[in-house]
Amino acid sequence: MAAVEQGERRGPSRPLLTALLVAVLTALALAGVERMLAASLTAAERAAVVDRASSLRARLETAVNRNVLLLRGMAATIANRPGLSEQDFAMLARDLVTQGRHIRNMAFARGTVITYIHPREGNESAIGLDLAARPEQREAALRAIAARDVVVAGPVDLMEGGEAFIGRMPVHLSPPGGEPRSGAFVGLVTLPLDAAGIYHEAGLADPATELAVALRGRDATGAAGDVFYGDGGLFESAPVLLDVTLAGSGGWQMAAVPAAGWGTGRKGTLWTVRGLAVCLVAAAGALAWTGATRAAERRAVAEALRRTATVDLATGVPNRRHLDAAGGAELARARRFGHPFSVLALRLEDIGGDDAAPGDQRGAAAAVLRAVAAFGRRELRAIDTLARVDERVFAVLMPETPQAAAAAVARRIVRHFDLVGVPWRDRTLRPRFATAATAVRQEDGGFDEVLARALARLQRPVTGVERDAA
């Protein structure tokens, strides 16, 4: 009887303990699920904004750069014909202006004083305007002269009305027998672009993008410049920031956030998951569900870490670590069965775009490297391994391949880029490569020696054929 009374005294504690246990598990599960889901939704939301903002940036760069690059044609003409008449200027400007969009006019300033303008009708008030005497245009004009390249100024208010970006290209004489544009400064060629038209073509205000966008860097001064489009407060709202590259010298910076604000779209999802989590944790299978979810996440993280450790993220091909491991295995297999095994090295020596600004050269080089990786994935055999081993260097493991056949592959790669080139912005790059092929030798101590020999034999850049190491 005492035992029964003792059991009755202990009985109520078991449901209480069970309730407490369920409550603790529910709280832990809710906290863990909410954190994971919130992090996942936040990352997905930000990735979507990056994707849409990158598309806007590309359209904005195209809308501006394809127009201001027309200035180089006019500047080259005047550099060789400094005595160009107003009639000849008008004829050339008419042909160039028809190639662009949103162009208000094209003008030539001898020194810094506007002398010619096309069309003249409606723009007469600009004739005789001294750019150096106008505070809002002086700095940008002098910066273009100092840079000896295109500078996109503005947006500025025009005398004839409206707001425009103004591309300016300095004109320097091209002396007979001398380097082009190496002579004395003659003046500036200017090209006003309707700002509203540029914004519209780029789609900055298109509600379909579901983005709020702002731009800063007035007069192509980048992140340090003033805000000239959109709400400047976006730059303080944890935005996605993208650099807008302009032709010539300078650029802008774009800030983008969801039009409805960060996190607006995920609140309903989070509350739904909270309710489901309560039901699942209250059931007997809650612990199993939580364990399976966490196990999957650990596998995903492990896979992401493994991929990051063995893949070059810039090109998507294997990196040096992967190459060393695969090369060691292939070397052991080749020796075990007595089969040929060669290593091909390829180094990008010149992107074929020497007239690009430093920032543009980096972008062009990245485009060429991605093109090499794409060519390798498409054209090399399934048993070959293309890897990026240095900033501009690739290596190819070629099992079952003698050195002569590897050299033939090198010729094919170089010839392909000689003939096809790499499309980039408004041009086609003709990159040059140095190549070397080497076969495994009996005295090689390991794969690192084979690879080192191939890399050491890379020679000066060639076009159309490679120079093979013996």
Residue 90, pLDDT above cutoff 80:
yes
Asked if residue 467 belongs to a domain, the reply is: no
Range of the domain at 421: 320-456
Q: What is the mean pLDDT of residues 385-412?
A: 94
Domain match, 285 and 331 both = no
Q: What is the pLDDT of residue 219?
A: 87
Q: In b/e form, how buried is each residue of 55-88, taking b as 16+ CB within 10 angstroms?
A: ebbebbbebbbebbbbbbebbbbbbeeeebeeee
Neighbours of 41 (CB within 10 A): 17
Which CATH number characterizes residue 349's domain? 3.30.70.270
Domain boundary among 309, 339, 370: 309
Residue 1, pLDDT above cutoff 60:
no
Residue 437, pLDDT above cutoff 50:
yes
Asked if residue 145 belongs to a domain, the reply is: yes
Domain match, 133 and 162 both = yes
Residue 355, pLDDT above cutoff 50:
yes
Predicted model pTM: 0.51
Domain match, 452 and 325 both = yes
Domain match, 365 and 399 both = yes
Which H or E run includes 154?
strand 151-157
Which string of DSSP letters, residue by residue, matches 364-426?
Answer: HHHHHHHHHHHHHHHHS-TT-EEEEEETTEEEEEEET--HHHHHHHHHHHHHHHHHT-EEETT
Residues 369 and 388: their CA atoms lie apart, in Å, by: 9
Which has the minimum average pLDDT: 160-169, 291-300, 305-314, 458-467?
Answer: 458-467
How many separate domains does the chain show? 3
Assigned token pair, 392: 């501009």
Q: What is the pLDDT of residue 433?
A: 93
Neighbours of 40 (CB within 10 A): 12
Q: What is the mean pLDDT of residues 296-321?
A: 78
Longest dimension (CA), the chain: 123
Percentage above 70 pLDDT, the chain? 82
Query: How do residues 49-86 score in pLDDT, each as one tens digit?
Result: 999 999 999 999 999 998 888 888 888 888 888 888 88
Asked if residue 113 belongs to a domain, the reply is: yes
Residue 13, pLDDT above cutoff 90:
no
Which CATH number characterizes residue 191's domain? 3.30.450.350
Under DSSP, the state recorded for 182 is: -
Asked if residue 55 belongs to a domain, the reply is: no
Query: How do residues 244-302 score in pLDDT, each as one tens digit?
Result: 999 888 899 999 999 888 877 666 665 666 666 667 666 655 555 655 566 556 766 66
Assigned token pair, 238: 């944890």
